[in-house]
Amino acid sequence: MSFLTIAFAALFYAATILLVVGLARRIALYWKTPAPLKIPTTPAPVTQGGVVLRMFREVVFFESLFKSTKWTWLFGWVFHMALFMVLFRHLRYFTEIHWLMEIVEFVGPLFKYLAFAMIIGLLGLLGRRMFVDRVRYISAPSDFLMLLLLLLIGISGAMTTFVAHTDVVAVKAFFRSLMYFNFSEMPNLPTDPLIVVHLLLVALLMIIFPISKLLHAPGVFFSPTRNQVDNPREQRHIADWARKLEQ
Amino acid sequence: MAKAEFEIPQLNENPEVPPVVLGTMAHSHPFIAKPEFQEPLNFPGELVDNWQEKAIEAMGDLLGKYRSLQVYLDSCVKCGACTDKCHYFLGTQDPKNMPVGRQDLLRKVYRRYFTFAGKYFPKLVGAEDLTKEVLDDWYSYFHQCSQCRRCSVFCPYGIDTAEISMAAREIMDRIGVGQKYCNEIIAKVFKIGNNLGLPEMALADTLEGLEEDVEDETGVAVKYPLDKKGADILLVTPSADFFAEPHVDGLIGYGKVFHEAGVSWTLSSKASEAANFGMFIGSYENMRRVSMRIREAALELGVKRIIFGECGHAWRVAYSFLNTLAGPFDFLDPKYPVPQHILEFTWGEIQKGTLNIDKSANDDMVVTFHDSCNVARASRMGPEPGGQFKIPRNVIKAVCNHFVDMAPETIHEKTFCCGGGGGLLTDDLMELRVKGAKPRMEALKNVIEEHGVTNMAAICAICKSQFTKVLPYYGMDMDMIVSVHQLVSNAIVLTGQTDGEDDEDESEDDAA
């Protein structure tokens, strides 16, 4: 095995552990931190089912952002949706489940062009960050770097598809060997710079996910203004620490 | 026009998002609470010696108690969706009055002391040490947030700057830096029972005076009872209703509605205040202590129901928090929600047909309605979501012939704050209050010019006081602002009312 292959194997194990453990710890923290008061932003659903629907609209359609700024919504929504579809197509590097592969193959030709949608969305967000004075004011260096990171991942990935093909069969075999700890059959990773850069940046993204603003992904599900049922008069809501004040 | 030592914003027909101008409101900060107002609330009298350490400790404590704080400090992606949504930013152009700009004052310290990135790469993620300058910024800008929650409507993660402001004020209180206006008032509630410090005797006199006025005007002996044991309904209303204009006309209205509905009701000298400034300072303990007076009063008087008068943040605390803070209310009649809003009661009576309404009594007005933020975005009326928008309008339309709404992006859940909520209704913040009223003033001016609106009705004591004060700065008449139950009061024809319509009209002209 080449040094590059070994280094990337180690990197992806480390990145996966950091991502999973970091995210799990953060989610556990959100889970166990109580919400002592009912604070849904009203009008809010009066049933649990209504809350599920509200959250669905928020997560899938970015409802609140749509109410706010159409441009940000457009770029943000296009970027996220394209990202998810591109990620879905990446399943072909990890799985051999037959029916799943068939879906991936079926949508593949269409989905691969979504890389451009993703890049356009990111460029829109970056432009907004640079040229709208209010957004420029609130941006820290990390906010620009995050967009840059995602852009480079998108561009390097798209280039392996559209400019300089990489040996995807070897890449797939590499990741399946990693997943099944099957080191004897692990092939060497291709060494063309595009795939190396792409994989390196993806690992970096995985590592910083649980310590950055990417925590908005789990965060939205724990947001009390969005996930609470509007029923304070019908049902008494009280946190453990608050109950202690009553004794 | 009232005279001012600051520039009064120009009202535009088509409101625009202004460019950012750094530091325009850095000089604005309210008076600091003296030790005598801090200590009754169990806060240190003045800035403690090891305040940095204590502040970080307090932040850690709150992060463990409030999921909102923990999730919101982590989740912001700086997308900018909220940046043009705060009335204080729109009126002052100060970027620290953009919701995210305000949150970041706390977030940068959170990141520095509580996150990996902020501990090791502070410059990269905009993390900062808690210095005296940062504390001064906190004091200034967390007292430029009216906790109206408009930003939370537009945030893709529902981040509510009110939660951040409340936490920041709690942290500052715990290190001895309190705001005079709020903390003095809370201390007064503990001592006397209401925000204004009206003792029981004065309250009884006032109510007697009201009874005489109403009887003089209508010939009907409408009662405004105080501490009447065994009454069915306990009415808890903001103490401004006892004497301020136009608030008191609302109180007269509640009494007339109860009278016509034939229910027995009472006010309480112990719970002679609906307001709960404990919310503004983010102090669960103080908010709970203030709320407990209502439970105690209800128990002592043996009432069956609790109804709240017209007040915005009080209705939030009542509707959303009272059951949590002072419940369970299993000793009350389970047929009714606890608590109810006076508008829920009045709308119920209107639907039942128990009130004899003469809408023409309000024909001299073209009325618009100001949705109060805490009612609009932090509570509900009636069984359906959005009832908080429909019920007040239904009641107004049932008692007025001429009603017009303001622009859709300035009402309902998108309503603009009056500029004086959240514990900022104090003269030492006058510049902020006037500038923060700008978006609402613009919307109002537009309906005045397009539809000949003469009056704006409100259901919040703070909104009413704030508008009375700031309308003149924008060249409008302070008497424009009316209570919703004032409109109800005008239109109700009491059973056995003796005087003719003409007399009534005349007396109104005199009052106007």
In chain B, where the domains are located: 35-185, 192-404+453-511
State whether A236 and B323 contact (CB < 8 Å). yes
Nearest CA in chain A to B318: A233
State whether A43 and B70 contact (CB < 8 Å). no
Of A76, A224, A239, Cβ closest to residue B79? A76
pTM of the model: 0.95
State whether A212 and B339 contact (CB < 8 Å). no
CA-CA-CA-CA dihedral for B492, B497, B500, B501, to nearest 10: 0
B210 touches chain A (CB under 8 A): no
State whether A64 and B154 contact (CB < 8 Å). yes
Nearest CA in chain A to B61: A33
| CB interface of B with A, residues 103-162, below 8 Å | 104, 115-117, 121, 123-126, 149, 152-160
State whether B319 and A30 contact (CB < 8 Å). no
Q: What is the DSSP string of B447-512?
A: HHHHH---EEEES-HHHHHHHHHHGGGGT--GGGEEEHHHHHHHHB--TT--S-HHHHHHHHHHH-
B35-185 has which CATH code?
1.10.1060
| Contact yes or no for B396/B343 (Cβ under 8 A) | no
Contacts B378 to A, Cβ<8 Å:
39, 41-42
Burial (CB < 10 A; 0-12, 13-18, 19+), residue B50, is exposed
Contacts B389 to A, Cβ<8 Å:
43
For residue B403, the 8-state DSSP code is: B
CA distance B386 to chain A (A): 5
CA distance B214 to chain A (A): 34
Cis status of the peptide bond prior to B225, with omega within 30 of 0: no
Q: What is the DSSP string of B312-361?
A: HHHHHIIIIIHHHHH---TTS-TTS-SSEEHHHHHHHHHHHT-S-B-GGG
Query: Among A30, A41, A66, which would you mutate to test the B interface (most chain B Cβ atoms within 10 Å of its Cβ)?
Result: A41
CA distance A111 to chain B (A): 26
State whether A134 and B80 contact (CB < 8 Å). yes
State whether B377 and A35 contact (CB < 8 Å). no
| Contact yes or no for B445/B474 (Cβ under 8 A) | yes
Q: How far apart are CA A233 and CA A9, in angstroms?
A: 55
Q: What is the pLDDT along chain B (512 residues), one digit of tens a residue?
A: 455 689 999 999 989 999 999 999 999 999 999 999 999 999 999 999 999 999 999 999 999 999 999 999 999 999 999 999 999 999 999 999 999 999 999 999 999 999 999 999 999 999 999 999 999 999 999 999 999 999 999 999 999 999 999 999 999 999 999 999 999 999 989 988 888 888 899 999 999 999 999 999 999 999 999 999 999 999 999 999 998 999 999 999 999 999 999 999 999 999 999 999 999 999 999 999 999 999 999 999 999 999 999 999 999 999 999 999 999 999 999 999 999 999 999 999 999 999 999 999 999 999 999 999 999 999 999 999 999 999 999 999 999 999 999 999 999 999 999 999 999 999 999 999 999 999 999 999 999 999 999 999 999 999 999 999 999 999 999 999 999 999 999 999 999 997 654 444 444 444 43
3-state SS assignment for residue A57: helix
Query: Among B79, B164, B344, which would you mutate to test the A interface (most chain A Cβ atoms within 10 Å of its Cβ)?
Result: B79
Q: How far apart are CA B394 and CA B127, in angstroms?
A: 50
Burial (CB < 10 A; 0-12, 13-18, 19+), residue B471, is buried
User: Domains of chain A, with CATH numbers?
Assistant: 3-244 (1.20.950.20)
